[in-house]
Amino acid sequence: MDRRPLGRSEIVIEPLVFGGNVLGWTLPEEEAFSVLDAFVDQGFTAIDTADVYGKGRSETILGNWLKARGNRDAVHVFTKVGSEMAPDKTGLKAEYIKQAIEDSLKRLQTDYVDLYQAHKPDPNTPQEETLEAFDLLVRAGKVRVIGASNSTPEMIEEAQTLAVHKTLTRYESEQPEYNLYARQTFENGVQQACIEHGIGVIPYFSLAAGFLTGKYRSEADFDKSPRGARMAQYLDERGKKILGALDTVAERTGATPAEISLAWLLAQPGITAPIASATSVDQLQSLIKGVRLELSEDDLKLLTQAGE
C-alpha cells in the first residue's frame, strides 16, 4: 500500500485519514471502537479530529479508545484548534493555543499529538503569533508537526516565509475542502503553493458530505441521513453531471461512486491522503477499496471534465 510523507516531516501515513467528526455524532462510542479497530487492522494509522467536534466529545471518544487498546504509539493523532468552543475559547492567539492544547491532550489521554492544526484562519491574530505559539508546543514535545486549514495561497506563502525568517516550525500540512464537486478554491493557487513548498494535503469533505456516495439523487433522498439537508447545494446541473460520470465509471469498474471519488482525489497532484468518515465497518471497507483503486486515464479525464 502506498504510504506518503506528511509534507517534509518524518510522519508517513497511508492514503486514507479517518474523519473523527462522526465520533459521538453519527457514530456512538459503543459502536466507534469496532470501526476504529477495523481501520487500524487494515494497516491505516491516521485519525483526524478537532476540539470543536461535539465540543470535545470526539476527542474524548478517541482518547478512550486509545487507552482501551493501548496503541497510542501505533496511531497518528491529528487534531485542531481555532473554531469556537465557547465565546472566550476561539481563535489562534498564543494564550488560547497554550490552553487549548492542554485541554485536547487531557481529552485524548496522551502527552502529545502527531499533527496539530489551525482549524481556520483567524483574521484577528497575526500568523507570526500563531506560528510562535505552535513552535513552542513542538519544542516542548507536545506536538510533533503543525498544519493549517482553509488557507489562501497568500497565507501559505506568508507562513512559509515567516517560518524561514523567524526560524520557526513550519506548516507541514494543509487541510482544504476538496472533492470532485468543490474544486475551484483548492485548484486556484492553493494546490500549486502546497506542491512548491512540499506541504502535505489532506482534504476534508472528500465525498462532499456524502453527496459523492451517489445516494442523494433528488430532494426525496435528503432524509436518508443527518447530513441530507446539505445536499441541496450539490444537486444542481453540475452535480448531476458528476453523478452521471461516476455512474459511467462504476459500470466500467464495478466500484461504487464513493470509491471512485476517493480514487480520483488520490490521483490529483499534491494530495497526500483524503479524510473520509465511516459509521460502520462496511462503510469503512468501501473507503479502503477506494484508496486502493486505480482508475484509467480515460476514467480520470471523464470525471475531471464532469466537474469543470
53 as an active site residue: the answer is: yes
Encoded amino acid at 123, one letter: P
| Beta carbons of 133 and 94 less than 8 angstroms apart | yes
Question: Distances from the Cα of 82 to the Cαs of 55, 75, 116, 142, in angstroms?
Answer: 12, 23, 11, 17
The single-letter code of the amino acid at 181 is Y
The DSSP call for residue 183 is -
Within 151-234, strands assigned E span 171-175, 200-201
Residue in the structure block whose three cell numbers are 470501526: 35
C-beta separation of 240 from 246 below 8 A: no
Q: What DSSP string runs through 146-165? A: EEEES--HHHHHHHHHHHHH
Q: DSSP letters along 258-272, please?
A: HHHHHHHHHTSTTB-
C-alpha cell at 204: 476534508
Please tell me which residue in 53, 171, 178, 234 is annotated as part of the active site: 53
Burial class (CB in 10 A: 0-12, 13-18, 19+), 25: middle
CB count, 10 Å around CB of 166?
11
CA nearest neighbour of 194 among 14, 8, 50, 3: 8
Q: Show which residues are catalytic.
A: 53
